[in-house]
Structure formats: C-alpha cells, structure tokens
A and B are shown apart, each in its own frame.
Chain A
C-alpha cells in the first residue's frame, strides 16, 4: 500500500510537470501576445512595449523564461500578473479559499441531492418521485451553468426583490467572514445559489448512477437472502445494498469532484466570486500566463490528488478490495 501510494504520488508529479510545460509552450504557440493585448484599441509606442516586456522578463529567450519560471516556482514565487501586477501567490491565496469553500458546499449539496434523489428513485421505483427524479436528472444536466446561474439569480434574487419577498431573495454577496474554514458567519445566504448551481449538474448524473447501481444490487441473491432471513428493509437497503451500490458511485463522485472544478469556473464567473475559477477564465482570455500557469499547477495537483484518494478509498469502502503492492509491481 505504501509503495503504491509513493508510486502514484511520483506519477502525479510527472503529470503536473508535463501539463504545466505543455501550457507554457501553448502560450508561445497561440497567436497574439499579452503585451500587445494591453494596447487594444489604442496603440502603444514600441518603447513603452519594450519597457513592459523588460519588466516581466519577456525580452528574454523562451527557454530562459521557462527555466526562470521553474526556478522561481521552487522558491515559492509564481510571478506577477501581466494584467494588474498582482502577485500570483496572493491571487492563489485569495482565490483558493473561495474556490475551496464553493467546492465544499457544492460537493456537500451534490451528495445530499444525489443520495436523496437516487435512493428515492430506486426504493420507490416507478413511483411519481422516481419519474420526477428521472426528469430532473435528464433535464438539469442539459442546462449550461451560465444559464442555470442567471436563471437562479432571476428566480431567487431579482424577482423576489421586485415583489418585496425578501425571504425568497437568496442572491446575496458571497460571505466575507468564516468560521472553521467553511462556515459563513455573515450572510450565509450568499453561498446557497452558487453552491446549488455547482451541485445540480453532476448530482443528477450521480443520482441516476446510484439508482441503477442500487437496482442492480437489489436484484442480487444475497439481498434476497437477507430479506429471507427476516432483516428489516432499512437494514437491507442501507447496510447491504447501499454500501455495495456505492462503489461505482464513489468512482463517479471522485471524478465529478474534478469536474466540479470546471463547473466552478463558470459558476464563479456567473456569480462573480473571487475564486480561482473566474480568475482562470479571465486570465486565459487575456493571456495572463503567470496567473494561468500558477492556477493550473493547483488545479492539476488537485485532480491528481483526488484520483489518488479515490483509488485508495476503494479499499476502505469494500474490504474485499485490497491494493496489492506486489501486483502493482
């Protein structure tokens, strides 16, 4: 298990290096350059552009910039934004906490929704709840986040405000103060809509997955045996069926946590949250390479870490699954 973990960690480091190198190369391949982008409608004199290039070290050959980037990275310095000269370290520090909170609440809401819908659909198969769950699952997945986000803002923000129903107005600023890292201490309403928008996209898919998995497990012989032994329905469903049905769902849930990052990019933009997602989107558009590369390192590392955790968690959920170090070798 230890050897396997170390090996996977090393693999992850190589993935991070390769991905960041590829992105670094891409910034030199795609047309346009970040300094020219600054001039926009009004041209800047060449001497001013030279000043700016010197300031960011862009006057140096590409390979020098590349090695300087990694050199600085090892010293913990990710450089400065071309757009507003802000330290990428500061951007990461600020953005990471917002994104982590959004992911936490999004993942939690996702789990609650998926379990509620998936279980209801499976247990009450063919019922109105099951049919509604199916419609919800199929319908919600087809709606892009920028549509669902703006729709949520209108239905739970603009409309209630205009009608004077402030109790239904959930479109509020993102909380400024937190306790225990993730519990808002002011304006908790601000987390509801963004977290729900993040949650519902993959929650629908996970709910469908859970439903199928549960139905399959419920048809298994050992479930019939469990019922025949006289165990209560609750014990059979939750102790025997759900536990086994969760294995494929955990895989999907882990993958969806990575996918949530993609959803969070759009959600943070639609809700103007100061997270890493919106920063990545804005920085990529303005070819702000230091910010994109810095954030990419975090996102890719997060993806690699989640994959590792998912793999290791199999053994915890199902004791029949053991990571065999020898087999890995």
Chain B
C-alpha cells in the first residue's frame, strides 16, 4: 500500500517536473542560432587564440574570429582576405601586400599593416612559447626572435600604414608565401592586444579580432563547456546569416553524437564504425575530402625493408595493399583510396603519382619473386608499427592479410598510446611505419619537404629517407618563382619518392564527416578542413 502511495506521489511529481522541464527546453530554442556539437565533439580545444592554437578545431574558431592577409575558400582557391593584392620581387625573397582600406576589428579599431606587425610580434615571441611560432621561420631573422636568441627582425616585416602596405623579406625564396601567410598564426591584432598573455582568450572582451564573428563571453575550454561567438558588428565582409554559434565541448564522441541525435545540436560527430549507418540516416552534406593523406612508410635504414637494395620488397608490399578494402571496411567510404601522397584539391595535384592506386596482386607476387631472386630469403615477419589505441590495428590487420596473399610475413607492432610513438619513429625504431599528414597550407611543399626531404630527418621524415635526387628537385621547386616549373619539380619529386624509391605507400585521403540536422541546408567546408560558419545556411 505504502509503495503504491509513494508511486502515485512520484508520478504526480514527475509529471509536474516534466511539464516544467519541457517549458525550459522549448524556451531555449531560437531561430538563426547554430549549436555545434561536432567541432569539439572529441575533446576540448587547446586554444582558440590564433597565435597559440595548434589544432585544426581550435584554428577553425580562430579563423572565425580573425581574418588574415589571405585565405583558402571552400573550393580550395587562394584569395585575399585583408590583402587586396600582393606582389613579389627579388625572386620571391620579398613580398609586398597591399591591404584593403576601412576594415575594422570588432572593437572599432582600424585594421592596418601595423596590426599584422603587432600580431606577428606577439605570436612569434619566445615568451609566449607558441607551438606554431615556427611557421614564421620563412621570414628573414624570425627564427632568432622566436627562439629568444635575437631581437624582432624589424627590417624583415615593414608596415606602411599610410600606403597600406606590408613588406615581408624571406629567409629563402618562397614562392608559396601568399598561401603560407594565410595560416592563423599570421593574424593581425588590435593595439589593445599588444603583449597579451596566453590567457587572453579566457576573457571574451580581450580576444579582439577582425573576423566575421567575435567572442560573446569568456570561453570554458573544457568538456561540458562551450565557446559562443556572435557576429562582429564592424565586420567589413559579408555578414553571417547566423545570429550566434555555440560550440559545445564534449569529451566523448558517442555522447556528442547522442546529444545531436536527441535534439541538442544542429550537427554532431560520427562515432567510429558508424559512418555508413549515420550518413545513410542523416545525409552526406557534412562530408568533405580534405587535404590529408594516410600512408605507411618504410624505414630507409632498416636492413630488410630500407635502402635501394630492397626496393622490390617495398614495391611488392605497396602493390599488395588493398586500399579499397581499407577505405570501405575501416572508413566506410569517408576516406577515399589515395593514389599519391599529395591529396586531391591541392593546387598542382595530379592523380596516380603513387606506385599504384589499386591492388595489383600479380605485380606484388612478381616483385616479391624478384626480391627473393636477388638472393634474399623469406624475411622475419615485417613489423607494422603504429600507435596503439587509435584504431590503426584494424588497418594494419588488413595489410597483414593482404601481404599474406603474396607470401610476405608480417605482424602487428603496436607502440604504447603514451604519445611517444612519433618520437620513437623519428629515431628509426619502426620498420613499416604508420603515418599521416594534414596540410598546414594548401601547397605541395608542405607535404614533400617536411615528410621526405633529408633536412627533415629527425623531424617529420619518419622514414629517415635521404635521396639527393629528391632533395635537388624540392630545392629547385622551392626557389623558383615560375609556378609551372615549381609544380613540375614537385610532381617529379613525388614520383621519385613514391614510384622510383617506394619509400612510402599511400592508403587513403583524409576527410571530415559530420551529421547535420535537416534544417542545415548549406554547410561549407574548406579543403583545409575549416567549416565556414559564417556561410552556413539554416532554414
């Protein structure tokens, strides 16, 4: 009896509470606002300050708050954002940018060439210790400043606020500088932000930019927190169609998706392994191939797979890999099979630069036989090295099965998920190395130089690949102002590494995939993986 009475009371209370709760929830909905659960669906951003953020998601918000000299549009085309034009002299060693007039920061201050000098001075300051300060190393004398060994290179970055020009002198000829300078680390700042600390973003009134949005309030960079941006009333470009964008921070992709699927957000991330199911359910408007490539490299110094003498073993492995299977089984088509290191959408991209883009089992067997005929014996299982805990074991398992079909023994070689994988690979501890790259700027050099040039050994050249032919091609491309010549040299270099030397073999191109509520009719994403929130159209 008592239990029954309690049950009735509880039911009445529950009904009352539900009614109240329903009222609160419906009151939260408002038109033209956008709630994003996708961007920070897998965790908190490091920063949204353009001088400090080193993550794609952090940079995405930074680019909504700050406009740089140039940017890349949703079609991958470079355009002037604050700069109206740019010219070079001295064989791409000096660049002069002419800035648009009458542009303002959200606090009403004018955007001048000196705003860029102030911004760069802050972001490259060794005391700020930005992880992305090294992007400034293209500028003459900037490395000394950013490492605390020298003064600000005033003669390398010269602002003329009257003429509205910014002159930049480069360390070496840099034909791609207009693309590079679009990186968020090169954002301008108003005078109120001169010398601002790394905590300026925590006060919404102090992180002042010139982008289409501004911070509405202090941000909470933690799971459960949010970043809220509203249109910049002084913005000089096309105004956003949204009156507010709220970025919800989640610490779990599944929970972020569930938040979307239960009506809390306008978009959401897709948990691993559910691409087909959820894109089938919500549509593919939020899917875009981006400028990134996954690949497996061969340790150039390894006696079994490295060096010129083992080229046939490497080519046998490259031909044996079933990229379609990796794409369909692991990524359910969101990451497409790659045909080279440079991804589609990158200026100068040419398909089919790799040794092969589809499985060639007969070719693999023939190459393996050639390698054995050179006096080699069946090797000990080749180690497929990868960082554990990120799902790479599934990709490696497919490759091991692919290699088994050719008769090449291979095994999993997981490295602990403690963040030390890449540093171990850099020291040559891997054999067949899981790797990937996402473009910082939409240029071929951003892939080929850091990943394969001998100057990058100990850095991102995980394979410790050293080829004088490759280096010469890259060096000539870097110093040329002739675009078509440079492009041809980069293509030749790609072929040299992927076909002639087979030091790496590509698997899939990276992509972004978000699920969108039916109310989102336009959801533009740039090839650099940036969602253009000011151009989102919500019905």
Question: Given contacts A41-B437, A171-B259, A278-B223, is CB(A186)–CB(B24) below 8 Å?
Answer: yes
Residues in B with CB closer than 8 Å to A162 are 261
Q: Which of B127, B220, B416, B422 contacts A41 (CB 8 A)?
A: B422
Which segment of A2-10, A29-37, A207-215 sits at the interface?
A29-37
Of all chain A residues, the one with the shortest Cβ separation from B456 is: A43
Question: Given contacts A55-B129, A274-B225, is CB(A48)–CB(B254) below 8 Å?
Answer: no
Q: Which of A32, A94, A129, A149 contacts B220 (CB 8 A)?
A: A94
Whether the Cβ atoms of B129 and A54 lie closer than 8 Å is yes
Q: Which of B21, B47, B263 contacts A85 (CB 8 A)?
A: B47
Whether the Cβ atoms of A169 and B263 lie closer than 8 Å is yes
Whether the Cβ atoms of B224 and A44 lie closer than 8 Å is no
Residues in B with CB closer than 8 Å to A240 are none
Question: Given contacts A43-B459, A44-B131, A48-B131, is CB(A274)–CB(B224) below 8 Å?
Answer: yes
Whether the Cβ atoms of B223 and A166 lie closer than 8 Å is no
Whether the Cβ atoms of B258 and A84 lie closer than 8 Å is no
Is B98 close to A, CB under 8 A? Answer: no
Is B270 close to A, CB under 8 A? Answer: no
Q: Which of A32, A41, A157, A274 contacts B262 (CB 8 A)?
A: A157
Q: How large is the interface on A (under 10, 10 to 19, 20 to 34, 35 or more residues)?
A: 35 or more
Q: How large is the interface on B (under 10, 10 to 19, 20 to 34, 35 or more residues)?
A: 35 or more
Q: Which of B21, B134, B148, B252 contacts A45 (CB 8 A)?
A: B134
CA distance A158 to B278 in the complex (A): 13
Of all chain A residues, the one with the shortest Cβ separation from B48 is: A84
Is A134 close to B, CB under 8 A? Answer: no
Whether the Cβ atoms of B22 and A154 lie closer than 8 Å is no
Which chain B residues (270-297) contact chain A, with CB distance < 8 Å?
none
Residues in A with CB closer than 8 Å to B17 are 188-189
Whether the Cβ atoms of A173 and B264 lie closer than 8 Å is yes
Whether the Cβ atoms of B133 and A282 lie closer than 8 Å is no
CA distance A58 to B28 in the complex (A): 45
| Mask of B409-448 contacts with A, CB within 8 angstroms, 1/0 | 0000000101110110010000000011110000000000
| Mask of B1-38 contacts with A, CB within 8 angstroms, 1/0 | 00100000000000001101110110010000000000
Residues in B with CB closer than 8 Å to A54 are 129
Residues in B with CB closer than 8 Å to A173 are 248, 264
Question: Given contacts A50-B147, A85-B199, A186-B24, is CB(A32)–CB(B419) below 8 Å?
Answer: yes
Is A262 close to B, CB under 8 A? Answer: no
Is B146 close to A, CB under 8 A? Answer: yes
Shortest CB distance A41–B (Å): 6
Is B301 close to A, CB under 8 A? Answer: no
Shortest CB distance B475–A (Å): 20
Shortest CB distance B458–A (Å): 8
CA distance A5 to B27 in the complex (A): 51
Shortest CB distance A157–B (Å): 3
Is B46 close to A, CB under 8 A? Answer: yes
Which chain A residues (272-329) contact chain B, with CB distance < 8 Å?
272-275, 278-279, 281-282, 286-287
Question: Given contacts A43-B422, A51-B126, A282-B43, is CB(A153)–CB(B251) below 8 Å?
Answer: no
Which chain A residues (236-293) contact chain B, with CB distance < 8 Å?
268-275, 278-279, 281-282, 286-287
Whether the Cβ atoms of A48 and B134 lie closer than 8 Å is yes
Residues in A with CB closer than 8 Å to B494 are none
CA distance A84 to B40 in the complex (A): 14
- Identify the 6 closest CB pairs spanning chains A and B, nearest first: A274-B224, A157-B262, A37-B419, A47-B147, A51-B129, A272-B250
Q: Pull 23 A–B residue pairs with CB atoms less than 8 Å apart, ordered by A.
A: A43-B460, A45-B134, A48-B130, A83-B46, A85-B199, A86-B199, A86-B202, A86-B221, A94-B222, A149-B255, A150-B258, A153-B262, A157-B258, A161-B261, A166-B25, A166-B263, A171-B264, A189-B18, A269-B252, A271-B224, A272-B223, A272-B251, A275-B224
Known: A150-B254, A272-B256. 12 other contacts (CB 8 A): A31-B420, A36-B420, A40-B422, A41-B436, A42-B437, A85-B47, A86-B202, A87-B199, A153-B255, A169-B262, A274-B225, A282-B251
